[in-house]
Amino acid sequence: MAKKTHSGQLAIAAAVRNIVEADVTMQDSLYRGIANLSAVARTVKPILEKRMNKKVKDESIVSALKRLRGQGKSLGSAIFTIIAQSSVSVRTDVSKIVLDRSRGALNAVLRAISAYPDAFIHLAEGSSTITLIIDEKFVGKIMTGLEGLQLLEKKSSLALITMHSPPAIIETPGCILAVYSQLARSGVNIQDTTSSYTDTIIVVDLADSGRAFESLTNLITVCRETI
């Protein structure tokens, strides 16, 4: 019986670890020793019981969380350092155009935008769509060159927020989550987002651009003061 119980505890511990490792915020708070273990256990419990298809005692979950608490490295300091070295820029009055990625669509898009080398144009290619973020004053001209392509979305009065970060952001998990969480807490809705090497590119409504810029600037300031 003791062997069976031990095996069950190991299974619970492994399952709890998998759940925690899928949640960066929960993981970091545990590793930093600031998490309320009982509260975390209540969050983990329904997921764990569904995964194991049986009831699990709170004590067993808390015990597994205690073992995890000292086994990892907090992401906090690395994230703070990277964000502290970042800067933010804003480009207003841009539009978003989303096209169906049909055969030859990319070539047509490249031909259309190559005629305007001085225009700001950000292109992102997905598996089924092509997204263009363009200076509003060039939209009409570029759309003329896109005739025949399937337009999925066209939206104006947007702003492009770019966070410029050091190369370490590429290898450090949790940095982008910190940026997105900051904007969410400020009530800023992200219309579109992508990344380009060390730049995190976020498209928001023009009306939200000031709040987004202030929110991210405050985040950078806090991280600089923290380190």
What single string gives the DSSP state of each residue in 29-41? HHHTT-S-HHHHH
Instruction: Render pLDDT for 53-106 as a digit per residue (tens, 0 to 9).
Output: 999 999 999 999 998 876 665 657 888 899 999 999 999 999 999 999 988 899
The answer to whether residues 118 and 195 belong to one domain is yes
Is the sign of the CA dihedral 132, 136, 142, 146 positive or negative? positive
Higher pLDDT pick, 76 / 117: 117
**For residue 167, what are the contacts with CB-CB under 8 A and spacing of at least 6?**
197, 198
What's 87's domain CATH number?
A: 3.30.2130.10
pLDDT single digits (tens) 12-29: 989 998 888 777 678 778
pLDDT, the chain, mean: 89
The pLDDT, as a whole number, for residue 29 is 81
Q: Domain check: are 103 and 45 in the same one? A: no
Q: What percent of the chain clears pLDDT 70, i.e. is strictly above it?
A: 93
Q: Are residues 103 and 59 in the same domain?
A: no
C-alpha distance from residue 158 to each of 134, 195, 204, 207, 209 (Å):
10, 18, 6, 8, 8
CA 18/CA 154 separation, integer angstroms? 41
- Output DSSP code: residue 115: T
pLDDT in tens, 193-220: 999 899 999 999 999 999 999 999 999 9
Does residue 11 sit in the same domain as residue 102?
no
Of 43, 73, 103, which closes a domain?
Answer: 73
Residue range(s) defining the domain that contains residue 194:
82-226
Both 103 and 14 in a single domain? Answer: no
Same domain, 29 and 122: no
Residue 2 has what pLDDT?
45
pLDDT at res. 30? 85
pLDDT at residue 35 tops 90: no
Which of 73, 94, 118 terminates a domain? The answer is 73
> pLDDT higher for 135 or 3?
135
Same domain, 150 and 183: yes
Q: Is 60 exceeded by the pLDDT of residue 155?
A: yes
Q: Give the Cα-Cα-Cα angle 84, 90, 93 (nearest 5 degrees).
A: 165
- Residue 70: predicted pLDDT: 64
Higher pLDDT, 37 or 226: 37
pLDDT (average), residues 170-188: 90
Domains in the chain: how many in total? 2
Residue 121 shares a structural domain with residue 19 = no
Count of CB atoms situated within 10 Å of the CB of 35: 21
128, 181: one domain: yes
Domain boundary among 42, 73, 104: 73
How many Cα neighbours within 13 Å face the side chain of 71? 10
For residue 106, what are the CA distances in angstroms to 44, 64, 95, 128, 141? 45, 51, 18, 11, 17
Say what the pLDDT of residue 3 is.
Answer: 47
Whether 106 and 178 share a structural domain: yes
Residues 66 and 97 in one domain: no
Q: What is the reported pTM?
A: 0.72
Helix (H, G, I), strand (E, B) or coil at 23: coil
Same domain, 18 and 86: no
Q: How confident is the model at residue 124 (pLDDT cuts 50, 70, 90)?
A: very high
Count of beta carbons in the 10 Å neighbourhood of residue 14: 11
